[in-house]
Structure 1
Amino acid sequence: MRAAAVDGALAGAVGSVALNVVSYLDMVVRARPESSTPQASAGRLAEVAGIDLGPQEAAANRRSGLGPVLGYGLGIAAGAVFALFVGDRRPPRPVEVAILGGGVMTLSDGSMTALGVTRPRSWTRSDWLADLVPHLAYGLAASVSWRRLRRR
């Protein structure tokens, strides 16, 4: 069971890389700026936890580093939880992609909504696509990695 969780965490890390690559490619293609939600989430989470990130410039730098780290942590943890959830079962690939990608998207968007960083009800169709496509890339990359690691 522990080996499966480690494999799941590794698959989640690969998925997180895929999510970021697709997000950065979207920035290139659409010439859009980087999202501020990871940094805002990190700042809000620190605030809720009562953690002082320091003076203004230092706090901004810490939020810039913490945002992506929190994203990777979420992606890695989601892969480990997925591994524990599926065990030795082999769901069809589309189901794995939906569970992994949809799960990470739900956790990410849900936590940002709970922290008051974003309001998905106000998102446009383009906003939803910009969020959905990288999370599907996460799900696909994590699923492929998971199966590769669990080959017997």
Structure 2
Amino acid sequence: MRATPLLDGAIAGAVGTAALNMVSYLDIVVRARPASIAPEESARRLAEKAHVDLGPGDKAVNRRSGLGALLGYGTGVAAGAAFGLLAARRRLPLPVAAGVLGGGVMATSDGSLAALGVSDPRTWRLNDWVADIVPHLAYGMAAATTWNRLRPPSRRGG
């Protein structure tokens, strides 16, 4: 059975998300900075908006931590799947595909942070933007490279 562009895109998105996480953790190690609380805070605010009780005290903290990570993976996989549907019939040059993928995930992530009131990217300093851009570039390169590997020119079109 042949994989579909949607599935191949989702796989590419998962690989991209792993790359994004690795680069983010490397940044934590190199700069000795704390991990971002944005994923957990996004999970908390989404749960509030959906009227979902995450439980008392430590249970809620742990659930927010897990949900925050899952939201990140969901965003990365969904973006890869969407890219798979859009790019199934045309081969984009690697830098263009990487830019579309990385930029799309970054816009989605940063847009959701702003929409939920977790952070306002308009107030970020240069080092905040660099810390955001570099992992998203890693996402884009890893996802685009994986996509091209899974969908060579002879497999385009379905």
TM-score by shorter chain over 0.5: yes
Q: Show the counterpart of 1:93.
A: 94
**Following the alignment from structure 2 to structure 1, what is the Cα–Cα distance between the partners of residues 46 and 57?**
16
Q: Show the counterpart of 1:59.
A: 60
1:2-151 matches, within 5 Å, as: 3-151=4-152
In structure 2, the gaps of 5 or more residues are: none
Q: Secondary structure at the match of 2:4?
A: helix
**Following the alignment from structure 2 to structure 1, what is the Cα–Cα distance between the partners of residues 98 and 145?**
9
Shift in Å, 1:35 = 0.3
In structure 1, the gaps of 5 or more residues are: none
Q: For 1:25-48, what per-residue CA distance to the aligned partner results, in whole angstroms no more than 9, with x for missing partners?
A: 000000000000000000101111
> In angstroms, what is the RMSD of aligned CA positions?
1.2
Letter in 1 for 2:140: G
**Following the alignment from structure 1 to structure 2, what is the Cα–Cα distance between the partners of residues 122 and 112?**
12
Letter in 2 for 1:44: R
Q: For 1:66-90, what per-residue CA distance to the aligned partner results, in whole angstroms no more than 9, with x for missing partners?
A: 1011100100000000011112201
Normalised TM-score (structure 2): 0.94
Q: Secondary structure at the match of 2:103?
A: helix
Normalised TM-score (structure 1): 0.97
Aligned residues: 152
Identity of aligned residues (%): 62
**Following the alignment from structure 2 to structure 1, what is the Cα–Cα distance between the partners of residues 51 and 82?**
28
